[in-house]
Each structure stands twice: as C-alpha cells, then as structure tokens.
Amino acid sequence: MQRLRPVLMTAVVASMGFVPMALATGQGAEVQKPLAIVVIGGLITSTILTLFVLPAISQCLLKGKHESTSRTAAFELT
C-alpha cells in the first residue's frame, strides 16, 4: 500500500503525456500513433505487474524461506 500512490502517479502522468500522440491525425501520425499506443500499453502492463504480480511472487518465495529459517531456529533452541 505504501508504493501504490507513487507507482500509479508515475504511470498515469507518463501515459497522459502520450495520449496526444496516440490521438494525433496530422502529418507524421502514422509513425507516432503506434509508438504511443505501445508505450501506453507497456506502462499499464508494468504497473499491474509491479503492484500485484511481483509482490505475490516475492511473498510466495519468501514464505518458504521464513518457514525454513524458523524451523532451523526452533531445532537449535531444543
């Protein structure tokens, strides 16, 4: 929850900066439009991965580590 606001603000500001490029219809828009759409999609994808997938994976990986350390500590005390 501590990282929610900074990550969302960074992604939203960067995405909003590319919206005019994605909506452009003037000269050179055929090059700018696909680039802007890909960048916006990448920002959305990376934000979702950063906020939800990465913490879930790290929690699963660290959960096994904490259990093995606590078991080792329990055996050392007895």
Phi, psi of 44 (to 5 degrees): -65, -45
Residues of the chain with pLDDT under 70: 66-78
Cβ atoms of 33 and 22 closer than 8 Å = yes
Do 36 and 22 touch, CB atoms closer than 8 A? Answer: yes
Specify the DSSP class assigned to residue 27: T
The CB density around residue 47, as the number of other CB atoms within 10 Å, is: 17
Q: pTM above 0.85?
A: no
Do residues 13 and 40 touch, judged by C-beta distance below 8 A?
no
**What digits encode the pLDDT tens for the residues 8-27?**
999 999 999 999 999 999 99
